[in-house]
Amino acid sequence: MDCQKIVKTLKHKDFIRVANKGNCFEEGAAVYAKEIKDNIFLLFVILKDIEIENIQALIAHFDSFSSIGLKEPEQVMFYLSIKDKEDLHYFEKYLKISDN
């Protein structure tokens, strides 16, 4: 997977990189978030392991933007783990659909 291309796309779509200082996400994960409704956030968590690249997409409710990466979400409404090219294909279709 080309994680650099995905990160570039997220930055272009106004996602903000969140400091991952708590225990909510795996250590070393890059977390990008965008508020889509009051305290409801679309997050992309990019995990880099020696053998795999894994991207997790989720829609979750946090009490504030600043609590992302520090606290567990109050509610997770959607979760997708992208581990192979087929999963990535669906993810890319989702990003294109969300542009409209």
For the entire predicted model, the pTM comes to: 0.79
Averaged over 10-32, what is the pLDDT?
Answer: 87
Rounded to an integer, what distance in angstroms lies between the CA atom of residue 32 and that of residue 19? 9
DSSP codes, 14-83: T-EEEP--SSSS-TT-EEEEEEEETTEEEEEEEEE-SS-EEEEEEEEE-S-GGGBTTB--SEEEEEEEE-
Q: What is the pLDDT of residues 43-92, one digit of tens each?
A: 999 887 655 678 888 999 999 999 998 999 999 999 988 877 777 676 66
Which range marks the domain in which residue 91 is found? 3-97
At 28 the pLDDT is 85
The number of distinct structural domains making up the chain is: 1
At 67 the pLDDT is 93
At 92 the pLDDT is 67
At 100 the pLDDT is 47
